[in-house]
Structure 1
Amino acid sequence: MDKPVIGVTMGDPAGIGPEICAKALSASAVQAVANCVVIGDRRGLRHGLKISKIEGIEINSIKKIDEAVFKPGTINVLDLENADPGKIKTGQVSKAAGKAAFEYIEKATQLAKNGEIDAIATAPINKEAVHKAGYKFDGHTEILASYTKTKDYAMMFVSDKLWVMLVTTHLPLKDVSRKLNKKNILKTIKLAHETLTKLRGRKPKIGVAGLNPHAGESGIFGKEEIKIIKPAVEEAKKLGIDVKGPVSPDAIFYLANAGMYDIVIAMYHDQGLIPLKLLSFNRSVNVTVGLPIVRTSVDHGTGFDIAGKGWANPQSLIEAIQVAAHFSKTR
């Protein structure tokens, strides 16, 4: 069977994106499962190879996907020529870097929608830089949802230890409670059910975390569990979904790691990401579910503090490409 073609966006060119792209696409673990094309700037990738001290790799700069040459020792770059090293300084937030990073996502989305690539794996962007460039999105997820006109979507994180899906994403903690409602919790439960059923060929066991300590303790520590979370769970059960909750947030991740649940529905970003990263940092992958295209991403940021030093770990990008390749075959 032919290997899927994965478009790997280079991320913010001032961060560790070029370095981890160079390392990941040179890895046999990636070459074994996918044909990859970096969507970025050849100068950035060349710099990534240099600081990584990777030799013997040829950069094939292309303008169209069908110009790619998939063979050992070659990295294909769909070169947008938009990351001028004279205007972008490594490790610094800039409008130029934010604009370049956004354009990589934009191009990758277009290619995926047109069927020219089978999936997208994204290196990290810097949200401040993207905002400086004039794009008012909270992150990759919202950009992709907008460009694919997707209304029902969610962030799912997968690892060897734990799978998590988020009801809310990039919000100040003080705003989480008022953004939660029965509708968006039920939507997330349904997305988890549909996604895992498709991937695994069976109904998943879903655990839904409470919001408050001890899942509210019958309303003593908060009413969200009684008013919105439990009604959403009960509605999901009526649809034939195998779901339990609200479960105390301080217990549910332990139970999932022990095998009681296939996936946990977390109410907010850090509730789900702290246990996930504690168990599987650099080995977890962000998947945007609900899109008409496959998109995976690393589980970390742009690493401005280590950019340009050759220290960046490519493992999360390697995992993201592997997951993208696998998921692309299930669509």
Structure 2
Amino acid sequence: MPARSAPAPLAPLALTMGEPGGVGHEITRTAWEALRASETIFFIIADPALFSCGATAQIAKPEDAAAVFAEKLPVLPLEKSVTATQGEASPKNAGAVIESIERAVTFALAGEASGVVTNPIQKSSLIAAGFKFPGHTEFLGELTKDAEMPSGRLRGPVMMLAGPDLKTVPVTIHQSVVDAVKSLTADMIMRAGTITAQALLHDFGVEAPRLAISGLNPHAGEGGALGREDAAIIAPAVAALQDSGFDARGPLPADTMFHAEARATYDAALCMLHDQALIPAKTLAFHDAVNVTLGLPIIRTSPDHGTALDIAGKGIARADSLIAAIELAATMAARRI
């Protein structure tokens, strides 16, 4: 019997610049120092001028990253230059921030990068410059809408917060609470549940995914006394997921879903509102939770924090969440080979 050939090495991960006045380039340098001796290779698409230290190397294409990674942080230069003041976000840099994201996605779609890890953006600055999307998740969905999905998988995008002890998925994301409630439908819940279960199986290695699905109102509506959405919208969605063969439970009172005993009964929690999902995720894993976009033809992760303008340039920003995002993206990429 002929010997099996070794699997081809993964393409490097593409990191985006994020808001240049924030901590993105600082934590990227720290993450590289932590991972430079590992097999997880990445490069950042950024203005090289952001990195004043000598431990960087400009590269012309993603495949060049591997040759320099152990000694230098690979930087693939942007076409647009950046003028940044640490601790300040400026709409003038919006074009460069967007360019970094677009190029990272292009590399990932072409197979030149095994995934995209996005540094935090300052949404208000981008929107002030004419950016039409409420966040990374929606923008990435637009950038990848014409690319083919892996066989049998539904298209998102769906946001997941993944920590060591909890994975949560908000069904509605960057909306006011009033607008989120108005927009909630059974189809949205079913689609988010299906995409989540598929990701747990194929990207996270969970053989039999279990979903816990929250209610919207206190006590999951208290039999209609505290709102009818739970019975009218969420319960039918849960039943439809079950009919499709998924292990799904709900609607469950959100205030009793996240203690240790409850978390042991499911692999991911679907929540109806942004804060229902993000508050427990960040409480349990503030420094090392990862934002993952499910339902894309590419892998995308991100640290679960913002630009941290208040501490930018002070040398105190922690890279834990970015390191976790890089490692998770590499693990997910390896499972997709």
Same fold (TM over 0.5): yes
Alignment partner of 2:333 out of 321, 328, 331: 328
Offset at residue 70 of structure 1 (A):
3.6
Determine the C-alpha separation between the residues in 1 that align with 2:51 and 2:220. Answer: 47
Corresponding position of 1:34:
40
Contact 1:166/1:272, CA 8 A, preserved across alignment: yes
Deviations 1:250-295 (A, max 9, x none): 0112267640111100111111100111110011001100000000
Does residue 115 of the first structure (1) align with residue 111 of the second (2)?
yes
Question: Counterparts in 2 of 1:275-290, with a 5 A limit?
Answer: 275-290=280-295
Q: Larger deviation: 220-229 or 3-12?
A: 3-12
1:103 maps to 99
CA shift, 1:210, in A, is 0.4
Give 1:5's aligned amino acid: P
Partner of 1:13: 20
Evaluate the alpha carbon distance shift between residue 219 and residue 300 of structure 1 in structure 2; reply closer, same or farther with a 3 A threshold: same
- The 5 A counterparts of 1:135-174 are 135-149=131-145, 152-174=156-178
Structure 1 counterpart of 2:12, one-letter code: V
* Range with bigger deviation, 242-251 or 133-142: 133-142
Q: Deviations over 1:212-238 (max 9, x none)?
A: 100000010011101000000000000
For each residue in 1:170-224, what CA deviation from the matched residue of structure 2 results, as whole angstroms up to 9, or x when unmatched?
Answer: 1111211111000000001111111112232511111000011000000100111
- The one-character-per-residue Cα deviations of 1:3-48 (angstroms, maximum 9, x if unpaired) are 54111112110111111111111113x64141111111111133xx
The AA in structure 2 aligned to 1:290 is: G
Distance in 2 (CA, whole Å) between partners of 1:222 and 1:119 is 42
Aligned partners of 2:134 and 2:174 also within 8 Å: yes
Counterpart in the other structure of 1:84 = 82
Letter in 2 for 1:118: S
Question: Please, what TM-score do these two structures have when normalized by structure 1?
Answer: 0.92
Q: 1:131 aligns with which of 127, 131, 156?
A: 127
SS at match of 1:136: coil
Structure 2 contact 256–262 (Cα < 8 Å) conserved: no
Aligned to 1:58: 55
CA deviation vs aligned residue, 1:157-177 (integer Å, no higher than 9, x gap): 111110111101111112111
Report the Cα distance in structure 1 between the residues aligned to 2:287 and 2:174, rounded to whole angstroms. 20
| SS state at 1:7 partner | strand
Measure how far apart 1:152 and its partner are. Answer: 2.6
CA pair 255-71 structure 1, distance change in 2 beyond 3 A: closer
Q: Rate the CA distance shift 1:330–1:74 in 2: closer, same or farther, 3 A.
A: same
User: Aligned pair in 2 of structure 1 residues 15, 213: CA closer, same or farther (>3 Å)?
Assistant: same
4+ long deviations beyond 4 Å: none
Secondary structure, aligned partner of 2:335? coil
Equivalent residues of 2:12, 2:62 under 8 A apart: no
Whether the 8 Å CA contact 1:33–1:322 is kept in 2: the answer is: no
Counterpart amino acid of residue 248 in structure 2: V
Counterpart Cα distance in 2 of 1:280 and 1:255: 14
Matching residue of 2:240: 235
- Say whether the 8 Å CA contact 1:59–1:76 is kept in structure 2: yes
Q: Which residue type is aligned with residue 38 of structure 1?
A: I
Equivalent residue in structure 1 for 2:190, among 182, 186, 189: 186
Which residue is equivalent to 1:75?
A: 73
Aligned partners of 1:299, 1:212: CA distance in 2, in Å? 26
Q: Which amino acid aligns with 1:14?
A: G
- 1:218 correspondence with 2:215: no
Matched residue of 1:27: which SS? helix
Instruction: Tell me, yes or no, if structure 1 residue 25 matches structure 2 residue 32.
Output: yes
Q: Which amino acid aligns with 2:312?
A: A
Secondary structure of the equivalent of 1:330? Answer: helix
2:258 is equivalent to residue 262 of structure 1: no
TM-score computed with the length of structure 2 as normaliser? 0.91
SS for the counterpart of 2:51 is: helix
**Corresponding letter in the other structure for 1:76:** P
SS in 1 for 2:240: helix
- In the TM superposition, residue 83 of structure 1 has moved relative to its aligned partner by 3.9
Report SS of the residue matched to 1:26.
helix
Distance 1:148 1:105, change over 3 A: same
User: Following the alignment from structure 1 to structure 2, what is the Cα–Cα distance between the partners of residues 110 and 257?
Assistant: 40
**What residue ranges of structure 1 are gaps of 5+ in the alignment?**
50-56
Q: What is the root-mean-square deviation in Å for CA atoms of aligned residues?
A: 1.6
Give the counterpart letter for 2:119 in structure 1: A
1:21, 1:132 → 2: CA distance? 26
